[in-house]
Amino acid sequence: MVDEQGRRSLRLVVTGGGTGGHTYPALTAVRALQERLAAERRAVEVLWIGTAKGLEARVAPAEGIRFEPVATGKVRRSRNPLKLVSPANVKDMCRVPLGAVQARRLISRFEPDVVLATGGYVAVPVGLAARSCRVPLVVHEQTVRLGLANKVLARAATRVAVSSESTLPLLPGSARSTAAVTGNPVRPAVLAGRPDKAVAALGLYGFDRSLPTVYVTGGAQGSAQINDLVSGVLPWLLERANVVHQCGPANEAALHSRAAQLPAHLMGRYFLTGFLGAELPDVLALADVVVSRSGAGTLAELTALGKAAVFVPLASSAGNEQAHNATHLQQSGAAMALLGAVGPDDLGAALGPLLDDPARRAALAARAREHGRPDAAERLVDVLLSVARRG
């Protein structure tokens, strides 16, 4: 498309999704690209190709982005090679060629200048279709280790963008020379929080501002494991800190019952909620220490903000990626990781030195910030424009 001044709009196909870890970095990159080209008075036309049941099917249309579904298949992992050849896996893998045909048809009609793939099973047929249509393909990896989809696509990609230098040796030799370390895009709103707004929005007037604040989260749905760990040390913890605990809507009632048994002088230091929405950036700004899972998006946000963190990885994450993410930062002195069978005493042992020693807490936060890339979306846009046919 050409506007009245003869400027061409840039056409972008985005693929990836299934979970927020693949979906939201892509959306953040799209918004950064739109802002970059809007400054040049150029438009960006976006087509998101995903799965009908993935998170992207809801997010893209809600953001005003055209969405088209294609068929795809899921590989069910197993340490037993024989189980990989299960009827379900075989059936799903047979759907990949169909998805590639559908994606090729969409790409041929849309005529994109570049394709961005952020992982998830749907990225494979779309990425292969981009390669067959000779459209530049940029693959972005959010985690320290390559996901299955990106392992497949790395050899077909024009360029691979990774979130950590530690990922570079894991790339195929053919991809390393053109790989770029961009970081994992973080929503700008996350970086713009204000502590005073968190206090006002949540009514945290019972907090003792002479004490550090701990933010505990298990993600939008909460984590029974993290909730139990925190409950096991809660009175001890509240003697040393204020606590904002986002526990998940399904867990809120039971935890409120436990909180009602706290000593009166500690109740004002504990704020329990099932879910945080628009207040989240402000809570992150208020927090001195964060206790959370270690998904790629969480790591990107906390390192970009420079937060001291104690990670409790989700053991069932694909490829054990959360444990790898947490271990990577712990080995760099940029976080603490609680791995394997963990009890309340382990959480207390990790939090105690951070809460009792401000200098130690600040040092951990500073090392976390060294791993952060708040400009990751802009770096990824640079990569996209470097290969786009009408960049």
* Token pair of 203 as six digits: 């009514």
224 and 119 fall within a common domain: no
Q: Is the pLDDT of residue 81 over 60?
A: no
CATH number for the domain spanning 158: value is 3.40.50.2000
Q: How far apart are CA 68 and CA 47, in angstroms?
A: 7
The confidence score (pLDDT) of residue 204 equals: 97
* Token pair of 27 as six digits: 């959306």
50 domain residue, yes or no: yes
pTM for the complete prediction? 0.88
The confidence score (pLDDT) of residue 2 equals: 53
234 and 180 fall within a common domain: no
29 domain residue, yes or no: yes
Decide: 54 and 120 in contact? Cβ < 8 Å.
Answer: yes
Residues of the chain with pLDDT > 90: what percent?
82
110 and 195 fall within a common domain: no
Q: How far apart are CA 177 and CA 171, in angstroms?
A: 10
Domain count, the chain: 2
**pLDDT confidence bin for 389, thresholds 50/70/90:** confident
User: Residue 76 is part of which domain span?
Assistant: 10-185+375-387
174 and 198 fall within a common domain: no
142 and 255 fall within a common domain: no
340 domain residue, yes or no: yes
Lowest mean pLDDT, pick from 68-77, 180-189, 235-244, 339-348: 68-77
97 and 217 fall within a common domain: no
The confidence score (pLDDT) of residue 76 equals: 44
34 and 172 fall within a common domain: yes
139 and 211 fall within a common domain: no
14 domain residue, yes or no: yes
Q: How far apart are CA 299 and CA 302, in angstroms?
A: 5
**pLDDT confidence bin for 84, thresholds 50/70/90:** very low
116 and 236 fall within a common domain: no
Q: What is the dihedral of CA 203, 206, 208, 213, to 10 degrees?
A: -50
Which of 386, 389, 381, 387 lies closest to 113 in space, CA to CA?
389
Compute the average pLDDT of residues 31-57.
96
Q: Is the pLDDT of residue 247 over 60?
A: yes
- The pLDDT tens digits of the residues spanning 117-165 come to 999 999 999 999 999 999 999 999 999 888 889 999 999 999 999 999 9
DSSP 66-130: EEEE---------SSHHHHT-HHHHHHHTHHHHHHHHHHHHHHHH--SEEEE--STTHHHHHHHH
* Token pair of 54 as six digits: 């993935």
130 and 242 fall within a common domain: no
132 and 95 fall within a common domain: yes
